[in-house]
Structure 1
């Protein structure tokens, strides 16, 4: 089972003079890149007992430090010194959604990883405010990779390296707020639609195969097949509307790319 830290360890971790969180995150990232141990401080918000059936069994095979807390935002706000907050949505999606949204509304910058079953995937959308999602059945390699990427991104953001909003013509994407706006109007996107749009806009003009998009947006061991990319592209184009659907171009027999919008003529 994952190791849970004692209250004395918590007090030690919070003692005055400790390194700022951003510095700790960056030091951990440097350690990972140089082959150091991948150890992160995590809090798991769940109703499951620590000694019961694990929410995500792969976590027990990793060497991260894990604390357990009730699945509500107030409990999470008492653990702001952790690297990642894991929210258990495997049994109560409504409660998980409320918790995630409250955390983001409170301005919490700690990455939030939502654990859920396959049946919950269709209902998760960008307005949940989660940083990433993972199936409870995920293997240790996938879980460790997701935790590492969340930690790296958080370290980059806190050190001022985050690129912030993405603006392409009339389209504005806020990665931190998980919102996309077209001419100031918010687009009603699911979580994966948002992630797909964000990834493409971050690489304008570059062509990605369906397999590459599956790996980058869905994860390297996703088993749904490349057809899911076509479905999400079609939905994205529909939500962009006929005036903007050409922003996502098709390269026949290859894949998709994000095309820069043409300059609008100046008004007389």
Structure 2
């Protein structure tokens, strides 16, 4: 386990033992972490500064993983950032469970994706600084801080939600198939298939809000297009 970061940067990893691939990725990225199976064990090993976040691997034993997260979210300090790892066939399990996690990643995963998602997940409240911006009407994306806002309202998005929205906003009016979005946004051979895109689009629309959900339009039998919403009418 790496000790290069402060106690505040320590992560809970579920279950114990974790997979060699995840352990290697966390160690090489410089994260301190502790593998546990229960919240009692997490409490016993909690550092003075508290846990920074949790990684829950639901690919092996999904029932135990979701049970752990349901219990976690019932705790007084239930705002702990959570990254869930799932297999491609488990994407349907995310439905109606958005409140149990903050971001998800499909396994097998690319180490660079885990690192990027953790950086975004643990970034905290970073003040906006002068940087390159992508703006479309009331939507603003800060390319340097990975922050987004709609009409001045901050949007709480996962790393890949942000990357997908950024790509679409940088190409307004163009229609993209799910396969092209997978290739251009995820950037390597991805195991989730088209269903991954649909899940992220659904979550993006919910976070944009009813008034602006129409910014992402479904083009029947083709894919998606970033375009008009009610503010343009």
SS at match of 1:122: helix
Assess, with a 3 A threshold, how the Cα gap between structure 1 residues 165 and 62 changes in structure 2: closer, same or farther.
same
1:256 Cα deviation from its structure 2 partner:
0.9
1:58 Cα deviation from its structure 2 partner:
4.9
Is 2:62 the partner of 1:62? no
- Partner Cα separation in structure 2 for residue 108 and residue 54 of structure 1: 28
Is 2:89 the partner of 1:122? no
Consecutive unaligned residues in structure 1, runs of 5 or more: 15-20, 22-39, 179-191, 238-243
- Partner Cα separation in structure 2 for residue 149 and residue 91 of structure 1: 25
Query: Pick from 97, 102, 105: which aligns with 1:134?
Result: 105
SS at match of 1:56: helix
Between Structure 1 and Structure 2, whose CA radius of gyration is higher? Answer: 1
- TM-score normalised per structure 2: 0.56
Assess, with a 3 A threshold, how the Cα gap between structure 1 residues 93 and 246 changes in structure 2: closer, same or farther.
same
SS at match of 1:65: coil
- Partner Cα separation in structure 1 for residue 115 and residue 147 of structure 2: 25
Consecutive unaligned residues in structure 2, runs of 5 or more: 129-145, 206-211
Aligned to 2:141: none
Aligned to 2:61: 92
Q: CA RMSD in A?
A: 4.9
Aligned to 1:183: none
Assess, with a 3 A threshold, how the Cα gap between structure 1 residues 262 and 141 changes in structure 2: closer, same or farther.
closer
Q: How does 1:39-78 map to 2 (within 5 A)?
A: 41-48=10-17, 54=20, 56=22, 58-59=24-25, 62-76=28-42, 78=46
SS at match of 1:145: helix
Assess, with a 3 A threshold, how the Cα gap between structure 1 residues 228 and 102 changes in structure 2: closer, same or farther.
closer
Is 2:47 the partner of 1:81? no
Assess, with a 3 A threshold, how the Cα gap between structure 1 residues 163 and 220 changes in structure 2: closer, same or farther.
closer
Conservation of the 8 A alpha-carbon contact between 1:46 and 1:88: yes
Conservation of the 8 A alpha-carbon contact between 1:247 and 1:258: yes
- Partner Cα separation in structure 1 for residue 184 and residue 71 of structure 2: 28
SS at match of 2:32: strand
